Amino acid sequence: MYFKLAWRNMWRSRRRTLITISSIFFAVIFAILMRVMVIGVFDKMISDTVSMSCGYIQIHHTGYWDNKSIDSTFEENPKLTTILNNEKDISAWAPHLESFSLASSGEQTRGVLLTGINPTKENEVSNLSKKLIAGTYLADGDKSILLAEGLAHYLKLKLSDTVILIGQGYEGNMAAGKYPIKGIVRLGVPEMNKGMAWLPLACCRDFLSTGKRYTSIAIMVNNRNEAGPLKDRIVKQTTGMCYDVMTWEEMIPEINQFFQLKMGQNVIMSGILYLVIAFGIFGTILMMLNERMHEFGILIAIGMRKGILATIVVMEMVMMSIVGTLFGIIGAFPIVLYFRLHPIHLGGDYAKVSEQFNFEPIIQPNIDFSNFIIQGYVVLVIAIVLSLYAIFKIHKIKAIAAINS
């Protein structure tokens, strides 16, 4: 009976109900948008960085990470390949042969991170072919090179030009070669865009004189939060093989620390937003209670107990809160999806600031549905807690004064 009374009372004054629901509706949308935008920025920065460098998990020879020497490589291992192919949490993996070299053209010279790749597997990990802005992607038998856009610009090179590479090969051998440019790649991380180059794995092995060896294997996962447990399983299965297995947090802790710092700042900003939302919802509740004071006075005067009246009013507000929250979550989803498909490209000073922090000046929201549920839940709890004020307000009512209000 109380539920029926509360439901009917909600729609007896449609204007008042719609105002209350609308305040919660917009509060939920604002809370969701703020959350998904911030998480989206850092998700993209982390994804761009790990996909083009170490992966969410990396396997390398014991001690390699401390000195990153080309001498600290390991041979192809069919058993390791089987382990990686059997792990369901791995979305893709690719072998790398990395070394620092000098890239030269004319009078211009710059240090670069040269990576030998299996073109097919690398494309599954980093989508490198989709980052091409000129030329074509590598094939296994090529003896040509891909350059990052910033590096090509610095060396004043274009497609089909030749770049000279000089470095140190395996076991002290001299590494030198010249390679035609087959493609130019634009990377989302500005620092990487200034100094990366890629050769087909066989060609890079010839350049560095390594034979069939890798410096590392980069692994991408279906869920970033599962990287830790996956690492533990790989460690157990590769015991005694002289491998180190590391997660991206261990390899690039500065990005993880920066992410945690910004998420802490986001908690503070969210707290301020929730405070503003709370005041907005509370103002709406006060308006609704004051408008109905005459009605409450009559009900109390004819014998309705204040406890029953307060219960019905709170149920009304809870139902309005639930309706507003559900519509807010539903309304936020197409907005988030639109900006996911059409990211916001920052320009001017904002772009310069983003490059200083080494991430692409693009805002692309995260579409993990848990963010929608969490924000909706928080706003719903705020609305329900504030609605309890009605109990206090109703118990303070004097029937005669309320009737004459």
Q: What is the DSSP string of 39-83?
A: HHHHHHHHHHHHHHTTBSEEEEETTHHHH--TTS-EE--HHHHHH
- Predicted pLDDT at 276: 80
- In this prediction, the residues of the chain whose per-residue pLDDT falls under 70 are 1-2, 6, 9, 347-360, 405
CA-CA-CA-CA dihedral for 338, 361, 216, 162, to nearest 10: 110
Give the model's pLDDT for residue 358.
Answer: 55
Give the single-character DSSP code of 114: E
3 state DSSP class of 233:
helix
At residue 2, the pLDDT reads: 66
Domain-wise residue ranges, the chain: 2-48+256-403, 54-251
What was the pLDDT predicted at 355?
A: 60
Q: CB–CB of 48/189 below 8 Å?
A: yes
Pairing of β 196-200 and β 108-117 = parallel
Find all residues with CB under 8 Å of 293, minimum gap 6, and list them: 397, 402, 405
pLDDT of residue 179: 95
Q: So what's the pLDDT on residue 221?
A: 92
Q: How far, rounded to the nearest angstrom, does the alpha carbon of residue 331 sit from its chain's CA centroid?
A: 21
**3-class DSSP state of 204:** helix
